[in-house]
Each structure stands twice: as C-alpha cells, then as structure tokens.
Structure 1
Amino acid sequence: MSARAFRACLHCRSRKARCDLGNIDSPKDPPCARCRRERVKCEFAPSRRGGSRRKKPSIVTSKLSSPTDQPTASASSSPSDYTSDNIHPAIPAAPLRQPSQAASEGSSFSSSSKHLNGPAELAAQSLHNPEDAMNLLVFQAQPGADARISPHARPDLSKFPLVVEGILSHEQYPILVNLFFTKMHFFFPMVPFTRIPRTPEEMAKFAFEEQDLASVIVVIASRYMNEGEWAGLHEKTWAFFKTRLADLMSGEAATIGTVEALLLLSEYLPRIRSDDSTALHEQENRMAWNLTGMAVRIGYMMGLDQKTFITSSTPGSVTTEDNQLNRERLAWTYCYLFDRQISIRIGKAFWSRGPGLCFHAQNDNEPAAHTNFPSLKPVAGLQDDYASVVQAYTDLTQILTNAHDILYPSKDRTITLVKVGEYYKYLDAFTRSMNNGFQTNWQNKRWDTAPMADGVWMSFHYLRLYVSSFAFQAHVQRSMSNYSPENGYFAWDLISSPDAKFVLEGADAATEILKICTNRIHSTVGLSWLPWRFFLFFSHAAVYLLKALFIEAIPGADQRGILHLLKHLIVALSSDPQHPGARYARLLNGLMKTFCAGKDYWAESMTRAASPTPQTMDSSMGDATERQPSVSNGGVMPGGDVGGVDFNMDTIDMDWFDMTMSDPFTTPAEFSHILFSHEALDNDFWTSSVGMQQAMSGDWGM
C-alpha cells in the first residue's frame, strides 16, 4: 500500500483529488501536477501539526476540515437565517440551509464566505451537491442578502401582522397570550419560563421575534372567546394564518417557532363550521396529519433531526448556543412524538422516516429528563417540571411505536397474527414494559400542575388500551366461525378464554381513562382546555367498553357501573355545545342507542340510571382538588367512584338518554358487523359515523 502524502494544495483538496508532487519520499516543489496541467495557482494551507499553536483567523484553513468530523452547528435564532448542518462550530451561521440528509451530505457553504477574498478561497469551499453550487452563485450576486432583520430593530406590537391587518387590537393580544400560557401550555410545554412573555415589553418582543408562534397562540386562544368584542375573532385570525400556511408551502422562510406553531395547531384545531359530523371529523384528521407533516418537513429542512445527537459543549454553564440547541432538540422531539401519535391514531404512514430519538432513558438515580430537556427543568415558583412531562410522553410514544410496528406492520401480517394467535408473547412483553418499566419509574412522580399528571396517565392508560385491544378484536374475529346466539362469543365464559386477561386489562384501562375525565378533569373545569387527542382517547375507551358489554366480556356485577360511567362521560363532554367534545358525545350517544337495541336489559338499566342525587354528590364528592392520588393496577389514579361526580344536568338535553327509542339508525343484525374490524381499534375510526357504516358493510378484505 502506498504511503499517504502529508500535504495537498487547496485546489486538489477542493476537488478531493490526490495532490501529485512526485515521489512521496522526496516531493517536488509546487506546483503539483494537477495545478500545472490546469494552469491554476498551487497554494498550500499552513500546517498545524507538531503541537499547540496560537490560532490564526484563517477562514480557508477552517473550511478544510472534513464535514463528517465536525459537530453540527446550532441554527441561528434569526427568523430567516438558515445554516449548514456540517460546518465548524466556530464559523458563524450561513444565510441558507441545506436539507439535512446525513452528517456528511449537507451543504458546507458558510456565512464566513462573505469575507473570502479571491478565487482561491472560493475554490476551497466544498461542493457536495447542487445547493453548494447555488450558494456560491448567490453569494457573488447578492453579497448582503442575509441581513433581513436588523438586530437593532425595536420590537413594536404595531408591526405584528394581525395588528397591522386590523384583526387584533393591542389590548386583545396580551389577554389571549396569557390565556394560552395559563390554561393550555402545560399539556405540551414548548416554551420555557424564560421566554414566556409577561410584561408589555416582553409581549411586544415575543410578537416581534416569534410571529408564527404568536399568531397560532392567538388562533388557539381566540377559539374560547366568542362573545361581545371577541365575536368572529377566531375565524378572522384563522383565515389570516391560512395565508401564512400557503406561503410556507410555497417555500417561504421558516423558523423554529414555525415548527412549534404548526405542532400546537395540530393539537388545538381551529373551529370548522359544518353540519356534517362525518365530513368534519375526516377534515380534522386530515388537518392534524397535514399540519404535523408540514412541521416535520420544515424540521428536516432546518436540520433539526440531527440535533438530537448533539450534546451541550459547555457542561455546567448555559450559553446562547446551548439554549438554541436545546430548543431545536425539543422541537424535533415534539415532531417525532406528534407524528407517531397522529399517524397511529388515523392509520397513516409516518412523516418522519429516520431513526428514533437518541436520549437517555429514565431511571431512579439520575432523572434523564433534566439532561435531555434542560430548558424545561423545574424552577421554584416559576416553572413546573416540564422536562419530566416531555420525557414521560417520549417513553410512552416509544412503546406505542414498537407496539404498532409489531402488531400492525401490514394488513396481511396483522391477519396472520389474529388467525395463528402468536401475538400473546408480544402483548405479554408490552404489558411487562408498561407495568414494570414505565409505571415503576413514574408512579411516584408528582407535578404541581394537576392537569399535567392527568395528561400523562391518560396517555399511559391509552397505551394499555391500545395494546390490549388487539387481543380483544382478535378473539371476536375468531369467534365468528362458531358464533351462535345461544353460545355467544365465548364457549363458556370470559375467564375460559385465553384472551381473558388482555380483554380485562383493556376494560380496566378504558375505565381509568373515563374516570380521569369525569372525576378529575371535568370536575375542575379543565375539560375545555384539553388538546384534541384526549377526546379521541375518550371515544376509543367508550367504544371499547360498549363492545365489551355487548359481547358480555364485562362481569355482570360491573355492567351497571360501566353504563353509568358512559352516561356521565356523555354529560361531561356535552357541557359546552361549542366545544368539539359535544360532537363526540352525540356520536357516542347514538352508538349507545344502537347497542341498546340488541340488549333489552340495557334499556331497562339506563332508564333506571338516574343522575346522581344531591345527597350522593355532597357525601362523596368533596373538593376535587384535595383528593390525593392513589396507586392502582393502572398507575397513579384519583380515588373516588363514578357516582361522586357533580354534573350540571340542567344544561343537558336528557332526551339523549332515551334508550328505548324504537328507531335506531341500524338494526341489531346489521350492527353485528361492527364488531369484526381488525383496523377499528387501531385508530380513532370509531368516532366517525362513516366508519360505523363501513364496518357494517363488512368491507375489510378479511
């Protein structure tokens, strides 16, 4: 093997070619063979070998390092600055950013090129792809194009686009921002306390620096303000932001705040006027999925997917670069979490195709959350332990993704698992992971903000329900070959079935989800502020219990309590006619009527199931905020039973609960088809009446 030449000229290095100076043992003086042949100046960079030397401000030398050997630079916080993924940390950010593909394939043209003098230094710039070539061309044509926003510009709320257009007033803006950060932000915390605006000056600065994020916060919060001077504000702000979405689709510049804004909007969908619940539900699914997908694509364009592999370069201290890196890592974490959740819920492909998150796992000795998300660490009196919330959601989403990939890799594989029955070992493994892993690590965790804990444990029980639903649906499908009205869906009873423990596990998980909704969140007037996903969790849990009741998978002693719990859920979701929860309540009520048509004793039970009496509520309710959580087999759960919930029955049309209606929307015979879909419990399919009609048609290709 030939020895490696110890030097190479700038021209050969830029071409990634061998620099031929003759014999390696006695090299000739420059020029090299290539430079002599191409008639270019043959220059060599000064050598840095042989020990520590004082660094010289040589831009050319810094650019000669291999891109794969350098860590990724933090992105600039300027709303329009895009940087290369593969430049030296000491080099300032570049005006353009190449979509991150791998650590060795990004654009290497840096903003330091603004100071390059002469063709030799320009030639030293790497040329990996067409984007690098275009950067060089644009640099010469527009040398000052990157100065888009002056760092000395004074933040002024009058320049906020919604204010400029006359849609929002100076007085309305801080009210809406405060509403969001006090009522909704903590469910999916993205903004640390250091960036939450409080004073008028901070409000103006936030609107100036985070235009997309501030606009989406206004859109979200204005949905809850629909009277007096606020009437119509939500529709106007949403119509305005849709023009921004069109600009983003057309290639307009985006920031980290844009990614955060799109993700938040996917969980707090804007109000859509429609009388067709089916079409509305499908539109919401598409909107949430597309918004998440746009956030993921922008994240890829900005190189955020590479930031989860980078650690802070200054242990023990926090610099501006560290804060920016932490924000980028957090934004991509949410991209991953939201993408997995929405794609699995609606049964679509993932937007993000790369590897999973690269983080430390939670353990008892060192809370990994504070290492992974340092900007969200608890600060007494200023910030709850937001980092642990994000870490908990990350742990749950990793298990959910693995469960989906194993149980639902393809339609054919899922059908094979159902028929052969080899899914038991997988469900056992997931159950152990949830109970011995997640629950053990998190069951003693306490947050000062109660809704944060409720969100985490609802997600945990939804994961239990998601995994257990597979066995439940598999049993129902297999039982169809031997089904008869006399024998039912079980040969003897539920306990005699090998799927019994998973069916009961799913029923327990569904019950716990609905108890959190009715006993804790609704009683503390927090239901209106929940993100969209939790209403789909409620719907999934309710449908699971209805199906379990219909096939007699619930012990007789528990059936009355389950029916009462479902009734209370409908009342809770219907407390605000303008909220999306009311629509899910109507769909659930219609489904209960259909099931009731096939079970006469349900109708009798529901007729006798009167609302809680004042005496019952007074004796068992107490102060909902003072009840201490207790550990059950499902995790940290509130104490108390369903009967202790204070429901405002005066505001509800009780005709909804007339379970003796003689004209349900389908017959019991037709409705039996609803039970046999292997896809139904893999997503929120059951919340749509179209889904029920498709299930009744039996068109599943089984």
Structure 2
Amino acid sequence: MADNKTATPMKRVSRACTFCRARKSRCDLEANGGQPPCNRCARENRECVLASSHRGGSRIRKKTLSISAPTTAHNLTPLLPVQEHRTQSNQLTPTSVPSLQSPQNLNDVHQNASLTAIPTSNPEDEASSGGESPIDNTIPRNPSDAWQLLKDVAKVESGNAAATIGVAQNGVGHAHPTQENTERAARGSGNVPHTGIKTYRLVREGYLTPEVIQMLVQQYFENYHCYLPLVPRQYFEVGAIDRFAITDKHLLTAVLTIASKDWVDQPHIHQSISRYMHDLVSGIAAGHDCEVEAVEALLLLAEWEPPGLRHNIEAVGRGEEDRSAWMHVGMALRTGYFLSLDRTSFRQESDEEAKVDARKRFAWANCYVSDRLISVRIGRAFWARGPGPMTGLSSRDFPTLQPLFDGDEDYGKIFQAILDLTQLYSNVHDVLYSGMRSSNQMMLMGDYVKYVDDFRTAIDRWYATWGNIACSKHIKMTLEMAYQYLRLYTNAFVFQAQISQAIARKKAETPLREHLRRVFSNVGSLPDARFIWGSVAAAKAFLTILATQIDPIKHLRYMPLRFYLYSIYSAVFLYKARSFGVMNELEQRAVQALIQQSIDVLHQASLSPQDPGSRYARLLELLWMKPLKLGHHIVKDSMQSPAARSDAGSQLSSTGSIKMDAGGYMQYSPANDFSWLDLEAVGDFVSSDLIPGQNPGMLAPLGGFQTGPAAFMASANVMNWQGQAAANNFQFDLNGNLLF
C-alpha cells in the first residue's frame, strides 16, 4: 500500500492532431477509430498529423514502446452518435429501395480488437501539447465564454481520470484501436465494420444504398448547386461520398432531401430522407453539437423548402413556404451566431486562418442574404443585428467560388452581385417598409419621394454594373428577376401612398370606390405618376421574363422558391392595380394574356400537383378567374371566353358594385381585403363566396368567425370603404404591412 501511495500517477496519452492542438480546440478522431484524419481536417481537406506528447508516466525520450493488449467494448467510442439510434417503437419501416445487408452490431466488431500505444515525447512540443490548463492565457468576455472554459477544464480532468483507470488496467497505456486493427478483428469474427458512407444512418438502417445517394448528390449538383453553391466542390468528386457522410451529415441530408423531391415515382425515398432531415433539424433546435455544415443545410432548406418537411400541403398555395423558410433562416442565424460565424465578416485573420474561415465567411454571408430576402417577402423585421458582409467583401474573399478551369462559372462575381443587390433590398425595406407609424407619417408628409428617387438611381447603377455579367443564361435570368422585383417593391410604396392620400382627400358624401377610380383613371395627372407607371412596368417585366425567357422544365423547375413567389406577388400586384382602374382596356388585355402565359409556365415547371408551381398557378387562376355566386347563380370570370358571360355581366352591372368592361371582363372594386404582399390573405380571398343578400363587392371568407390580424384587416377595410374611418386611418395590418 505504501508503494502505491508513493507511485507517480499516470496521465492519459494525448490524442490530438497538430492543427487542432494549435487552435486549442477539441480533436474528434472517433469517426476513424482514433486515427487521422480528424473531422476538422477532413472537412477542411488538410493533412492531419497526430502530435506527439510527453504527458503521462515516465518520460522516455527518443524511444518508442509498442504494447498490444486486449480491449473490451466499453473502452471504445462508438463510431456513430447516440442520438441517431432509434428505439423499436419509433423505428421507421424500410421501403422498397435497392437491397442492403442488415447492419451489424457494432459491439461485435470490437470484441477481439487489439491496440497499440506509442507514448513519445519531444521537448519542442511543450508549447503546443496542451499540457497547460485550458483556462490559461484566456480572458472570458461573457458568461458563455466562461462556461465554455469550465467545460473544457471538465473534459480534460475527466479524460485524465479515464486514462489513469485505463493505465492501471493495462499496465502502461490505453488508446483507441486503429482502423486497420478494428477491420482485422472484424474479419476474424466474421463481421463487416461500418465505415464511410455505411455509417450514415439511412444506409445503416437500409433505407438507401450508397449508389442511390451518389445519384441524388449528382442530380443536386447538376440541377440545384448553381443557384446556391454552398456545398464544397470537393464533395461532388468521385469517391468523396464517404467523407461527405462522415463529416457533414446535416448538409448531405439537406442535399438528398432537395434532390429526392423530384423522384415523384418513388415518393417513399423522399419521405424517408425528409424524416431523417426533420430529426436533424429538431436536434439543432434542441442544442445538439453542430458545425458550419448545419447552418449550410438550414439555408439550403430555406431556399427550396422540400414538401416532405411539411405536415399538410393545400391544393392552393397560400404562402406556407414563407413561414417555413422564416423559421429555417432564423435557426441558421442563431446557430451561426453561436458558432461565431459573424466574426468572419472582418478580414483580420492570418493566411492560414483565412483558409479555415473561407467556408464560414461564405456561410455567414448567405445567412445575411437569406435573412434580408425572407424578411422582404413576408414583411417582418430582420433577424440579423450583428455585423453583416457589407464590410468591403468582394469576390476574392470567397476563394471556394473562384473558377478552376476555363469555362467554369465565376460564382464569386455572381455572389458579389447578389450581395450588392441584397444591400439595396435591405435599405429599401428599412426606410420605406420599416413599420406602420413611420410609413404612415412618410405617406402623409410626402417626403418619401427623395428616398424613392435615390433608391431608383442606386438600382439603375447596380444594373449598369451587373446587368451584363458573364454567366449562364439561367443564372443571369435570376439576377434579372431579382432586379425587376426590387423595382416593383420600391415603386409600389408610392402607389400605396397615393391611395392613402386620396382617401384622406375624399369628401364624406362621395362613395370611396368611385372616388378612387376617378383619381387613378388619369394617372398622368398625379404628382407621382412616374412611380406608379414604374411599378406596373416592373411587374410586367418580371412576368415577361418568367413566361418567355426561362425554360420551365430545364431551369425554372429547379430555381429557388423565391422566384416562384416573386411571380405570384407580381401577378397579385397587377390585379390590385387593375382594380383601381390604372390600366386602360388595351393594357388590361395584354396583362391578362401575360398572366395566362405565366400560369401555363408554372404548370409546366411542376412534376406533380403538390409542387409550388402548380399550387400557385392554381392561386392565380382563382384570383383572375374567380367564380362569383349571386343567389343561386354562379358566374365565372374566365380570361378565355369573356363573351360567354355577357348575360351574367348585365345582371351584375345592375347591382352597381361590380362593373363589366367592353369585353365582358369583371372589374372588381378596390375594396378587396388583401395585400399584394400577403399570400395568405389572397388565399382567403380566392376561396371565399358571396353570401346571399351581401354586397357583391365585398367578399366574406369561409370558415365562420375570424380573429387576429386577418379579422383586423377585414374590419379595417370595411370601415375605410364605407367612409366611417378617420381620414388618417390608413390601411395597415397589426404587423405594419401595407394593405395595397
């Protein structure tokens, strides 16, 4: 006993690569059985070399000692995370995909594995061996930093304790088995070890085969990657699927989820992948450990929003994808902040750190872009409050986007163009659409003109710089469409201001509908006519690109979801403008033909009725050809055969609320209670019927009594159109969105 007390306690043998040790970060060698490369080096495609150490036991200089000893299953770290195992009650039922051998028990693999411990020492490694406490030379800046330091200390102490126990049991030292020894032991026991892609859960449980995964990754690269090149190019190389699955499982699953939605003849594949993706996203939300690849996965999901991630898909699009994208972008931003991705916005790192931070910087810049664009789409405040990428970054700051060969896309320049345009989106939203109070005051005072003029000038300058960028036509069309929608978004604010000012000037005895149509029947006489014409021209230009410049099958089908929604916003805006009488008869005919072309293209781009193109084409059909019920008669506003409704038109005209033009097309009252920026309200409008005895100009949504913002919007409109509201009670909802 006395000898035991005086013996020098043994410490664990350090197992970390030189790069992770220099960064004072955790080195994860579990995926490869304790051998290099570690997860970080594999992900960053760098050479991984285990650092030597002089920690633990007697120091043997310039000598090596190799000892083989048996090991047991409880000494080994599993190759797979615990959270990926499913209980029997929650086990997914494998579907009919290419056959795969049943997964083997991982414990059987390690029954007879041998290990080799080689404790070495080198005086030159004193500074980088990590022998000093993790709390040395570090000043915590906040409680989170202090907690992280304490967590690192706890890990070191628990590792030392575990190493001491292992040394006592084995005599000298204990280390993880090498992959070679593990495979040798597995062959001896008749089992096949799980390595590479076979460690991926969907393969391990028999839902997919490596061949199917390779096909889906290739299809993603060919169809989707060009619109958002977040996935590192190394993962599209032949033979890289093993590394992809081990180091970036969140990103791989997002890629598979997006690509598999096109396999409509095998829906079970998309369902199985979507369930796993849902589990991973839930884990991120629950605070599971993750890296930058989880942020990238969330951003990809927000751009395409695969149908398998939603519980219910309605036959008519109502903007549900916007809500899902809002949540995914929010999680990506919060995760990015936690991983300190926002600090990469400033280029203060060394050349070596720049190689590591390049991927993080690009991911954070895309967080900024996605945050701004989704906020503009749904009229909400921005998530990101910290430093953005507008700190002098240019295409050279994204080396992973540079072309490798002649003829490659220069994604660096394309992304710089997107960044510059996104900054304009952000400024317009901040100044013009910042909130109900500020927007209301700006409309009353009329000082919005100077802002809109400046924005229009900046938008034109962007187009002069980037309008002729050298890239593939379908990518160039996405930039063109984003530019046209920004023009619409900017000029439409002035249209709303003119409506609000016209309401304020209305005399009490004049019906509001007649007053508004009289004001806008001669747009040229208005002081802001150029802005109104500009908004209508931008909406028509956007739909013209959609209908005539993009192949719906080769390209539109794979474009990010926002371009589908931009087209719907543009069509709804034109519907609103038509309601106010801005267009003459000839222009109405042209717009109606353009809407029909857009509907046809959206249908062609869809593989199934559940696709966004088909669902939102149906929304436009209902909006522009809405059936109206009057008593027991149903009248349909059809763009194809206006003469067929001449008799019904005369009956409706007699009511004095719905007018028919010379061609027999219905002209709805401007009193429609939805905003061109609120697709859910548009869905309520197109799904409503007239109640017998009700004014045909006012449509009541189905579903009974309404509460919340929708009810506020409807009631506010009724008050305004009846002239009972105060003169300065303009059309806003509770969130500050304009109701035009």
**1:213·1:258 contact (CA, 8 Å) conserved in 2?**
yes
Q: Which of these residues, 448, 463, 467, is aligned with residue 486 of structure 2?
A: 463
CA positional deviation for 1:525: 3.3
- Kindly state the Cα deviation for residue 424 of structure 1 after the two structures are TM-superposed: 0.8
Q: Measure how far apart 1:357 and its partner are.
A: 1.8
**Equivalent of 1:356, from 375, 385, 388?**
388
| 1:258 and 2:294 matched | yes
> Does 1:301 pair with 2:341?
no
* CA gap 1:384/1:514 in 2 versus in 1, 3 angstroms: same
Supply the AA of the counterpart residue of 1:197.
F
**Pair 603,112 (structure 1): closer, same or farther in 2 beyond 3 Å:** farther
- 1:563 matched residue in structure 2: 592
Q: CA deviation at 1:192?
A: 4.7
Structure 1 residues 61 and 541: CA distance shift in structure 2, 3 A = closer
Aligned to 2:414: 389
SS in 2 for 1:356: coil
For 2:22 and 2:201, the matched residues in 1 are separated by: 44
Query: Aligned-pair distance for 1:277?
Result: 5.2
Are the equivalent residues in 2 in contact too, given 1:281–1:688 (CA < 8 A)? yes
Residue 539 of structure 1 pairs with residue 568 of structure 2:
yes
Q: Report Cα offsets for 1:397-423 as digits up to 9, x if no partner.
A: 111111111112221111112222221
* Cα drift, residue 307 of structure 1: 0.5
Change (3 A) 1:135 1:495: same
Partner of 1:698: 716
1:90 alignment counterpart: none
- Does the alignment pair 1:446 with 2:470? yes
Q: Is the 8 A contact 2:254 2:277 kept in 1?
A: yes
Tell me if 1:688 matches 2:683: yes
Query: In percent, how many aligned pairs have the same letter?
Result: 27
AA aligned to 1:207 is A
Worse-matched range after superposition: 685-694 or 468-477: 685-694
Whether the 8 Å CA contact 2:257–2:273 is kept in 1: the answer is: yes
In structure 2, C-alpha distance between the alignment counterparts of 1:254 and 1:62, rounded to whole Å: 18
Which residue in the other structure is 1:140 paired with? Answer: 157
Which residue of structure 2 aligns with residue 583 of structure 1?
A: 615
Correspondence 1:221-300 to 2 at 5 A: 221-227=259-265, 230-271=266-307, 272=310, 274=312, 276=314, 281=318, 283-300=320-337
Quote how far apart the aligned CAs of 1:144 are.
Answer: 10
Contact conserved, 1:603 with 1:660, CA < 8 A, in 2?
no
Partner of residue 507, structure 1 = 536
Instruction: Give the Cα–Cα distance (whole angstroms) in 2 for the partners of residues 276 and 423 of structure 1.
Output: 39
Task: Note the residue ranges of structure 1 that are not aligned, 5 or more in a row.
Answer: 1-56, 64-75, 83-110, 362-367, 610-654
Quick one: distance in 2 between partners of 1:671 and 1:492? Answer: 14
2:252 maps to 1:214: yes
Q: Choose 213-222 or 245-254, whichever is displaced more.
A: 245-254
CA contact (8 A) 1:359 1:372 kept: no
State the 1:205 CA deviation. Answer: 2.3
SS of match in other structure, 1:380: coil
Which amino acid is 1:168 matched to?
A: L
User: Residues of 2 paired with 1:311 and 1:454: CA distance?
Assistant: 35
Mean Cα deviation higher: 257-266 or 166-175:
166-175
Structure 1 position 516, deviation (Å): 1.5
Distance 2:638 2:213 in 1: 52
Post-superposition shift, 1:344?
Answer: 2.2
Match of 2:139 in 1: 126
- Quote how far apart the aligned CAs of 1:442 are: 0.8
C-alpha spacing 1:541/1:299, structure 2 compared with 1 (3 Å) = same
Contact 1:514 1:569 in 2 (8 A): yes
Alpha-carbon distance in structure 1 between the residues aligned to 2:613 and 2:345: 36
In 2, distance between residues paired with 1:213 and 1:357? 22
Q: Conserved in 2, the CA contact under 8 Å of 1:226 and 1:233? A: no
The answer (yes or no) to whether the contact 1:573–1:582 under 8 Å persists in 2 is yes
Q: CA 1:113–1:213 in 2, change beyond 3 Å: closer, same or farther?
A: same
Task: Tell whether the 8 Å contact from 1:462 to 1:537 is kept in structure 2 after alignment.
Answer: yes
Cα shift readout 1:611-666 (whole Å, capped 9, x = no counterpart): xxxxxxxxxxxxxxxxxxxxxxxxxxxxxxxxxxxxxxxxxxxx9xxx98999xxx
1:163 aligned residue: 203
Shift of 1:463: 0.7
Superposition TM-score, scaled by structure 1 size: 0.67
Structure 1 CA distance for aligned equivalents of residues 321 and 440 of structure 2: 29
> Structure 2 CA distance, aligned partners of 1:214 and 1:61?
29
For 1:148 and 1:517, the matched residues in 2 are separated by: 58
CA distance in structure 2 between the partners assigned to 1:150 and 1:478 by the alignment: 77
CA offset at residue 292 of structure 1?
A: 0.8
Which residue does the alignment assign to 1:607? 641
- Could you give the per-residue CA deviations for residues 233-263 of structure 1, whole angstroms, max 9, x where no partner exists? 1111111211112222222111211111110
> CA separation of 1:215/1:474 partners in 2, compared to 1, >3 Å: closer, same or farther?
same
Root-mean-square deviation (Å): 4.2
Per the TM alignment, residue 573 of structure 1 is displaced from its structure 2 partner at its CA by 1.3
Structure 2 CA distance for aligned equivalents of residues 77 and 533 of structure 1: 38
3-state DSSP of counterpart to 2:549: helix
Cα distance per residue 1:38-95 (max 9 Å; x no partner)? xxxxxxxxxxxxxxxxxxx9x99999xxxxxxxxxxxx9836999xxxxxxxxxxxxx
Post-superposition Cα deviations, 1:434-480, rounded to whole Å, max 9, x if no partner, equal 00x20111122120x22211111111111111111101122223323
Indicate how the Cα distance of structure 1 residues 578 and 377 shifts in structure 2: closer, same or farther if over 3 A, else same.
same
**8 Å Cα contact 2:625/2:638 also seen in 1:** no
The letter of the residue matching 2:641 is T
> Which range moved further: 171-180 or 588-597?
588-597
Choose 269-278 or 179-188, whichever is displaced more: 269-278
Shift of 1:570: 1.1
Letter in 1 for 2:236: P
C-alpha contact (below 8 Å) 2:377/2:677 kept by paired residues: yes
1:29-68 superposed matches below 5 A: none
Amino acid at match of 1:505: G
Question: Aligned AA for 2:159?
Answer: Q
- Secondary structure of the equivalent of 2:305? coil
Q: Distance in 2 between matches of 1:79 and 1:276?
A: 43
Whole-Å separation in 2 of the counterparts to 1:662 and 1:183:
52
SS of equivalent residue, structure 2 residue 475: helix
Partners of 1:343 and 1:349 within 8 A in 2? yes
Distance 1:585 1:148 in 2: 58
* Alignment partners' CA distance in 2, 1:303 and 1:259: 12
**SS class of match (1:698):** helix
- The structure-2 alpha-carbon separation of the partners of 1:491 and 1:192, relative to structure 1 and needing over 3 Å to count, comes to closer
Maintained 8 Å contact 2:436/2:732: no
Displacement of 1:682 in angstroms is: 5.0
Deviation at 1:486, TM superposition (A): 7.2
Q: Secondary structure at the match of 1:142?
A: helix
Do structure 1's residue 78 and structure 2's residue 112 form an aligned pair?
no
The yes-or-no answer on 1:205 pairing with 2:243 is: yes
Kindly state the Cα deviation for residue 281 of structure 1 after the two structures are TM-superposed: 3.7
1:189 to 220, 229, 254: 229
SS of equivalent residue, structure 2 residue 384: coil
- Following superposition, the deviation at residue 540 of structure 1 comes to 0.7
Name the CA distance, whole Å, in 2 between partners of 1:60 and 1:210: 22
Please identify the structure whose Cα radius of gyration is greater: 2
Task: Name 2:216's counterpart in structure 1.
Answer: 176
Flag the 1:80–1:386 CA change in 2: closer, same or farther, 3 A: closer
**CA shift at 1:383, angstroms?**
3.1
Preserved contact between residue 580 and residue 669 of structure 2 (Cα < 8 Å): no
Displacement of 1:563 after TM fit? 0.9
CA contact (8 A) 1:469 1:503 kept: yes
Does the 8 Å contact 2:217/2:256 carry over to 1? yes
- Which amino acid in structure 2 is aligned with residue 390 of structure 1? F
The match for 1:516 among 530, 545, 564 is 545
Number of aligned residue pairs: give it.
Answer: 533
Could you list the runs of 5+ residues in structure 2 that have no partner in the other structure?
A: 1-17, 25-36, 44-125, 164-174, 183-193, 507-511, 631-635, 660-666, 688-700, 702-709, 718-730, 734-740
Residue 214 of structure 1 and its aligned partner are, at CA, apart by 0.8
